[in-house]
Structure formats: structure tokens, C-alpha cells
Structure 1
Amino acid sequence: MSRLVVVSNRVGPLKDTGRAGGLAVALVDALTQAGGIWFGWSGEISEEGTFGNVRRVGSRKVLLATLDMTQADYDAFYVGYANKTLWPVFHYRLDLAVFDRHAEEGYLRVNDRFAARLRSLLRSDDVIWAHDYHFLPFAASLRAMEVENPIGFFLHIPFPAPEVLAALPNAAQMVRRMLAYDVIGFQSRRDAANFRRFAVEEIGAREADNGDLLLGSRRTVVRAFPIGIDAEGFARQATTPDARRHTRRTEKLLAGRQQIIGVDRIDYSKGLPERFRAFGRLLEDYPENRGRISLMQVAPPSRAELDAYAEIRRELEALTGNINGRFADLDWTPIRYMTRSFTRRALAGLYRASRVALVTPLRDGMNLVAKEYVAAQRAEDPGVVVLSRFAGAAEEMSEALIVNPHSAEEVAANLQTALTMPLDERRDRWQALFDRICENDAASWAQAFLAALNNQGNGQEEKEASGKATSAFPEVFADTHFAATRE
């Protein structure tokens, strides 16, 4: 049986720490079944960087292999190109994007070096699965080093419309490099369609009837693989002692009132200021909710070194103070805003104590909070999801109340609908959502992607054996350079 080699920016852990997300759980399960390597950055900065020793820990079945970065590589690859360029562009925020040639060169350099170090660990029958925007050109780096293994890629964030991506310098070259992958997976059909359209219109790829892309003699599967959660497992977490304790504490604090909950990292893509304004509009337009409804927003900070994140945190603190100052009473606080993280069990308990989940990103690849909230509900008295139309989850969760997060009036009106929805309707909507997230869970997502990758990899091998695809790699990637091959 072929080993699975997972490549991601951060690696592990193999054991459940109580804070690992659904992605980590799904990858650990897939790695445990097939055996293999989880390869990526160690999270450490050192003088040797990617030229230092590969750290290897783990079990006989699964090896965690990590590399350091130098400070210069970290600044260019991670802080610079990945998070100051790709993240804002892919989330439709060209106004926040920084286009810096040296950061782009550093991003390509780190991909080359990581590829070079992984190559020495590979076996000829390994199946490679790279993850997220940190590794867009990773397969092209491996192909230039004559690695012919099946290589798949999954993008966890949105892929922008071609008109937006075109603003990225060298966007065509980056998409051309991405076609070195055998399978490219996206969270939504919309994202997959955006990628296909750019590839066809900007680099001359051809789209097959089934949506695959052909460039030269090479075929790449391009498809939506919506990521799921371990829905049944998360439902069990909502009944653990820790979860029940958080449910009881919250219900005691609410004293018969209702709670709306939001759980997000502090990030401009999550629409948190818009969410707070919509909640303020709910209290203005529907004054009967004053003293009866609270918003709990859990928002742990992220990427605090970036100016845009510090600015949004200040804005949220100001909005919280403004809304609480206008509407609070002696025994009621409208917004409880917490910049700390919780364990998954604790979050499950908070979800269960909340009548509404307010999930309103301005752009999101999927958003698993919406699915976790559904899984945590009591079947006899479930809550309602108010969900942004710009989250990938909206394609799968039509029974949620779908809203435009830019419209405070629309969000407020749907919050009022959710808060006053009859029990029978809440149960019907919840049951349909719960059945779907159980069917399309994290394990099914991983199995579907790997099945497509294995099928496509076998097809490419047959073409190469017949001599029909021997020129595919140089023909497609002739305009790229790979620094790692010269060092």
C-alpha cells in the first residue's frame, strides 16, 4: 500500500490536545490508515533554516518531519508573500495587499527548498498531498526535480474571481505552476469555477467536459471537495463534563435570556465589525430584544504582527464599548467580547447554550463553525444558523438563514427571524443540516480527495508508460526557475 505524504505549513500534533481542528483530525486519521509522513515547517527560526537537519518524531506508522526557516525566509515567505499578498488577494482585499518582488522570490525559494528536502524522504510509490496557499507552486518545484509521484493540492481559503486574481503580479505563472498538481481541490464550486476560468482565459488551458483542465499533454482534475467535520464526534463532545459545565455556566449567566454566538479568529475576512453593527441594528430595529438577547463573540487574536489585524482589534473594542454604552442595563450586557481561545469541548458547550450562531464572514473558504454549531445542538430544542452567502458552507447549508454580511439591516432581520422561529421549523432545519454534515464528514472529505488523486495518478502513469506524456513537465513549466536545484 502506498504511503501518504502530507505537506502543510504547520505539522501535527498526532494526539488530540483538545484544541486541534477538524482538519488535523482528518489528516491524522488518513495518515494512520495509510502510514506516511507529515512534512512542513517546525515553527522555529534558526540560522540554518531549511538547510538544517530535518527533525523527525512520531510513531513507526506516521513520521512528523519538520524544517526550520531563517528569519529572512520567514519574513518573505510567511509574513510577506503568504499573508500580506496571497491572503488579502484571495479574500478580495486588494486594498490591503502588498506586492513586493523580494517577498515573491522568497516565497518561491522556500517552496523550492522544502521540495528539495522532501524529495530525499520520498519513495517512488508515495502519494503526496499539499495543503493551502503556502504551497501553490510546490508541485512544480518537485516536478522540476523529476518527481513523478501523484501530487494533490487542497486550498482551504477562497480562490478569487479572475478579475481579482489578475491584480496579483505574475498570477498567470503561479496558476501555471499549480497545474503541476494532478488534483486541485477547492472548498466550493464557485472557487473551482474561478480557477478554471482564469486558467482558460489567461494561460490557454482547455477545459474538458468533466471540468478537468488540460495544458499541453497534461491533465489536472479541478473539483470542489467541501471539507467536513467529525459531526458525530463533535456531537459527543457537547455532552462531555467540560462541555456541560460551560453550558450550565452560560445558561446561569443568561438567566433565561437568549444568546447569539460567534466564534472566529480576529481577521478582516471574518466580517466582525459588520457583525457587531448588525447586532446593534437588531437592538435598534427590534427594541423588544433589549435586555433579552446577548451576543457572545469569541475572537482569539491571530497574526498580531500585521498592522491590519491590530487595527481591526481596536475597531472591535470601540464598537463593543459604543453598543454596550448605548444599550446596557444594570443586569444586562449586550456584547460579551472575549479575545481568548477555548478547547473544542468548551466551545461545544457554548454552542449548545446559544439559540443562534452568527457566522458572517465577508469571504471564507468553508467555515467549520457553522457545522460545529449544528453538531452541538440538542435535537429536541436546536438553534438556528445565520450564515453569510460568501462562506463556502452556504453551498451545502441551504437550511441556514443565508444573508449578505454587508447589509446590517438584512442580518438584523434574519437574526429576528431566527430568534422567533417556531420549534417545529427549527427542528426540521436542524435535522436536514445534521444529516448532511454527518454524511459529508471529515473522513469522507479525505477519502474522496485521495480517491481522486489515486485515480488521476494511475492515469498519468499509464500515459507516461505509453510514451504519451514524457514531455508534459517541461512543456508546462518551461517559464519557471527553481533556485533550490542550484544550491
Structure 2
Amino acid sequence: MGRLVVVSNRVPTPTPGTPPAGGLAVALAGAMQERGGIWFGWSGRTLPATSAAQEEPEMVEQGRVTYALVDLTERDLNDYYAGFSNRMLWPLLHYRMDLADFTRVALAGYYRVNQLFARLLAPKVEPDDLIWVHDYHLIPMGGELRAKGLTNRLGFFLHIPFPPPDILTVLPNHADIVRGLAAYDVVGFQTPSDVENFETYIRREKVGHRLSDGRFVVHGRAIKVGAYPVGIETKAFTEAAEHAAKNPLVKRMKESLLGRQLIIGVDRLDYSKGIAERIQAYETFLTLDEEWRGRCTYLQVTPKSREDVPEYAAMEREVAELAGRVNGAHSDLDWTPIRYVNRTVGRNALAGLYRLARVGLVTPLRDGMNLVAKEYVAAQDPADPGVLLLSRFAGAAHELDIGALLTNPYDVDGTAGALARALEMPLDERVDRWRRMYDRISKFDVTDWRKAFIGALEEPERTTPKIAAVR
């Protein structure tokens, strides 16, 4: 059994004696300790713009895992990360063509950093290693490694949506991006819709087709493409929620509610999350269902992110002003409709807050998966569960439509009506809906996701008739 080499934009900083930080670290920790391997990527540190590129990654050993850390210059970070990755790919892959900002300088930086990563990683790879590259920052990584002569099994997983061709082809270098995916042996998406969009693109652009065995031919290479929906640590999160009643923050929150029903939303500050539309829907709900005024409280937890990107700074102002306007118009002396928290809340406290909430509002305008939806379900009290109000445009809707109330976040009135239904839903219906969702996320958790993808990557290469490259 070969080692597992993981490549991601950011490497979780190893801290001996503490659990892994971040969802991807949790998902892969067990496999990496079992197999041994390398976790390669950006250290999180920056060098002056005039600095030379790093010649060797910093190697940190922890158990059977070696963390290979690369510092980036300010120039590389601005072009590759803040530029092309987060001002072009991120908005476009989330269907926000209006926010996409393409520059040749940023594109050059995107490829420059991928080439740097490949140059530093290639000498560390052994012939039987499995290589698993993660997310939109590193799509060209597979092709760069192939150019270095590596013949290892290469896998790529896209954690965010893959849009339909009419959106993807807005990207000036869309053909090169898809050609980069063809360098991998396994390409994983979150949902069947993403796979369908990929297939439609390669057919429409005449660069590939599906084989009878389910694989795809893309630019002359036969690759496996599939949906591998990311899960959570369901059992562990449920246990955290069960014990969170003693958490000081959770206790204070429960006492402050004074018997009111809690509605909760938890999102990183990002325009894809639909936070402004959600607040507007809540305001509409308060206007149309006046009997709920003073009987419910909406808690929105929204840690800041990417504050150096102008669109995010503008959104932070918009959301804060909107929450303030709603509170100013609807609050009473002893009741504030919205509690807007602009900071990170710890995992255990968050699990307890989910368990307190009668409604979980997960209404992104577009999301690859959205694990908050699954965490909310995992945290519920089986005897008195809350209701998940879920956007149909979240990847999680492909799995949780069996119990969630699906809503269109662009339809403010419809979301307001769904919120009223969720708050008024009888116990027997809440239990039935919750049980179906909980069974699903228990049977397909984060370990199953990791095993499914690595299992596909480990499959022996099948013989395929010689295929002419499609031009």
C-alpha cells in the first residue's frame, strides 16, 4: 500500500497533541496516519514581493505524516490566491459572472504558483504514492506533475460547484482549465449535477465523451469522473451537541432566550451564502406573521473572511447595515429580532447552539455542499428535533431533500413562508423528517467520503483502446 500525498492550498499547521484543525484535516487525518504520507501546500506565511521563490519546502514530521510547507511571496499570493483563485474562479464557479475579474497578470500568477508547487513536490514523491489534489486553487497541479514525469495515480476533488457550460465558458482560459482536469485519473465533484455539467461541457466543446464503462474520455485520456459528496463526523458531532448544554456560551444563550424559539444561521462572510437575502426573508416573515414578533430570535454567526478582497469588505458593510435596519424597525424594549455575531464560535459551542435552535437556516445562493446543513441535523435532540430550512442550490440538498424544507433563496416571500411553516411544524413531522436525514448522514459520513474517493483512485488502470486526442 503506497503513501497518500495530499496537496491543498493551505496546509493545516500541525500541533502535537491537538486534534486536526479544519474539515479537510479531520477527513484525511486517519488515512494519512494509517498509510503515512506527505501533506503539501502553502504554509500561510508570506515573503516580501521581491523575494526569490522558495527552493525547498519546510518539512515538519508528526507521526507518519510529513507536512511540507511552502511560503509564498506577496506577489504570488496577490496574483494566485487573492487574484485569479478568489476574484475569478470563486465567483464564476458560484455562478456570479458579474463579480468575476479576469486579468492576465493574475492568471500568470495562478500558473506560476502551481508550477512552483509541482517543482518542489515532484522530488518528494515515490513511485507507488497516491496523489490527491484539492480544490480550485490547484486545478493545473496534475498537468504540472505529469510534465515533471510523474506517472502516479492522480486524483482531484473540487469542493465547490462546477457550473454549466454557458457560465464556465465566460472564463477566457476555460479550455486550459478543463484540459488540466484531464491530467488526473479520478476527478471528483460534490453532486451529480456537477458531473452532468462537466459532461455537457466536454460534449458541447467537442473535447470528450462518456465511455460505455462510465469513464470519460477528455482530451484523449480516459478518466473516472464521479460525485463524492463530502460528509461530516456525524457521531462525534452528535456527541459534542449532547454534552454542549454545559458550555458557558450555550447556557448564556439559552437563558437569554427567555423561552423564545431560536432560529440560527452560520456562514462564513461570503456573497455565495445568501445572508442578505436571508435577513430580508426574516424581515418579511416578521411583517407577514406578526404573531411571531417577540416569540423568536434569529442568531446569525458570520465570521469575516477575505477582508483584502473589495467585494467582501462591501458585503460586510451591507449585511451589518441590513441587520441594523431590521432591528431598528422591529425591535422592542425587551426583544432584539436579530443577533448578528461577526466572529468565530468554537465547534462545541456551535454544536450546542444548533441543538437549541428550532430552525436551521441554510440558504446559500450556490454552494458545493454546505456542511452546516449536516452539522445542524447531527446536533438535534431526537426527541424534539428542529427543522432544516435548506436552499435547493446547496449541494447538500441532493442528500437532505428527504427531510429538509427546500426553498429558493431568491424568493424572499417563499422563504419567509417556509420559515413560518418550520416554526409551526408539529413534533411528529419534525421527528420523521429529522430521522430520515440523520440516517443518511450517518450512513455516508466523512470517512465514507474519503474511502470512496481513495478506493476509486486505487483501482487498477483499465486498458482502453487507443484514443485519438480530441481537438
Q: Same fold (TM over 0.5)?
A: yes
Q: Is the 2:209–2:218 Cα contact (8 Å) retained in structure 1?
A: yes
SS in 2 for 1:238: helix
Q: Which residue does the alignment assign to 1:34?
A: 35
SS in 1 for 2:242: coil
Structure 2: give runs of 5+ residues left out of the alignment: none
SS at match of 1:53: coil
Structure 2 residue corresponding to 1:289, chosen from 288, 292, 296:
292
Contact 2:55–2:120 (CA under 8 A) maintained in structure 1: no
Further displaced range: 237-246 or 122-131:
237-246
Q: 1:33: how far off? A: 1.7
In the alignment, does 2:222 pair up with 1:214? no
Inter-partner Cα distance in structure 1 for 2:95 and 2:162: 9
Give CA deviations for 1:89-125 in whole Å, capped at 9, x if unaligned. Answer: 0011111111101111110111111011100100000
Distance, in Å, in 2 between the alignment partners of 1:211 and 1:199 is 15
Contact 2:20–2:29 (CA under 8 A) maintained in structure 1:
no
Distance 1:204 1:210 in 2: 18
Show CA shifts across 1:65-108 (max 9, x none).
01111111111100110001000100111111111011111101
Structure 1: distance between partners of 2:29 and 2:71:
22
1:448 Cα deviation after fit: 0.1
Cross-structure match for 1:308: 311
Tell me which residue corresponds to 1:443: 447
8 Å Cα contact 1:238/1:349 also seen in 2: yes
Residue 173 of structure 1: how far off its partner (Å): 1.6
CA distance in 2 between counterparts of 1:401 and 1:216 reads 41
1:459 correspondence with 2:461: yes
Q: List gaps (5 residues or longer) in structure 1.
A: 480-487
Of the three residues 73, 77, 89, the one matched with 2:76 is: 73
Summarize deviations over 1:275-334 as a string: whole Å, max 9, x none.
000000110111111000111000000000111111111111111111111110111100
Mapped to 2, the partners of 1:312 and 1:421 lie a distance apart of 33
State how far apart, in whole Å, the 2-side matches of 1:5 and 1:382 are: 40
For residues 244-323 of structure 1, the aligned pairs below 5 Å read 244-323=247-326
Q: How far apart, CA to CA, are the structure 2 residues paired with 1:305 and 1:19?
A: 27
Deviations 1:404-428 (A, max 9, x none): 0001111111111110000011111
Partner of 1:106 in structure 2?
109
> What is the match of residue 165 of structure 2?
162
- 2:364 corresponds to which residue? 361
Compute the displacement of 1:217 (Å).
4.6
Residue in 2 aligned with 1:11? Answer: 11
Answer yes or no: is 1:419 the counterpart of 2:420.
no
The answer on 1:93 being equivalent to 2:86 is: no
Q: Give SS of 1:396's match.
A: helix
How many equivalent pairs are there? 467
State the secondary structure of the residue aligned to 1:284.
helix
Aligned residue runs from structure 1 range 122-201, under 5 A: 122-201=125-204
Q: Secondary structure at the match of 1:240?
A: helix
Displacement of 1:236 after TM fit? Answer: 0.8
How far the C-alpha of 1:53 sits from its partner, in A, is 2.9
Does structure 1 conserve the Cα–Cα contact (< 8 Å) formed by 2:202 and 2:218? Answer: no
Between 222-231 and 243-252, report the one with greater CA deviation: 243-252
Instruction: Determine the C-alpha separation between the residues in 2 that align with 1:214 and 1:332.
Output: 60
Contact 2:244 2:250 in 1 (8 A): no
CA contact (8 A) 1:243 1:350 kept: no
C-alpha separation in 1, matches of 2:407 and 2:63: 48
Following the alignment from structure 1 to structure 2, what is the Cα–Cα distance between the partners of residues 201 and 38?
Answer: 37
Identity, in percent, stands at 48
Aligned partners of 1:22 and 1:442 also within 8 Å: no
Q: Normalized against structure 1, the TM-score is what?
A: 0.92
- Partners of 1:282 and 1:413 within 8 A in 2: yes
> 1:211: Cα distance to partner?
4.0
AA in 2 matched with 1:32: Q
Distance 1:242 1:51 in 2: 48
Q: Match for residue 485 of structure 1?
A: none
Is 2:403 aligned against 1:402?
no
User: For 2:213 and 2:308, how far apart are their aligned partners in 1?
Assistant: 43
Q: 1:175 to 1:216 in 2, by over 3 A?
A: closer
The residue matched to 1:382 in structure 2 has which SS?
coil
Higher mean C-alpha displacement, 26-35 vs 409-418: 26-35
1:378 is paired with a residue whose SS is coil
CA distance in 2, matches of 1:298, 1:49: 40
Question: SS at the partner of 2:205?
Answer: helix
Aligned equivalents of 1:346 and 1:210: distance in 2? Answer: 47
Displacement of 1:60: 4.1
More RCO (CA 8 Å, sep 6+): 1
Native 8 Å contact 1:262 1:296 kept in 2: yes
Q: Which whole-Å CA distance do the structure 2 matches of 1:267 and 1:255 have between them?
A: 31
Distance change in 2, residues 1:243/1:407 (3 Å):
farther
TM-score, normalised via structure 2 length: 0.95
Cα offsets for 1:134-178 (capped at 9, x unmatched): 011110111111111000000001111110011000101210111
| 1:484 matched residue in structure 2 | none
Task: Determine if contact 2:5/2:40 at 8 Å carries over to the other structure.
Answer: yes
Letter in 2 for 1:254: L
1:336-415 equivalences in 2 (<5 Å): 336-398=339-401, 399-415=403-419
**1:60, 1:291 → 2: CA distance?**
53
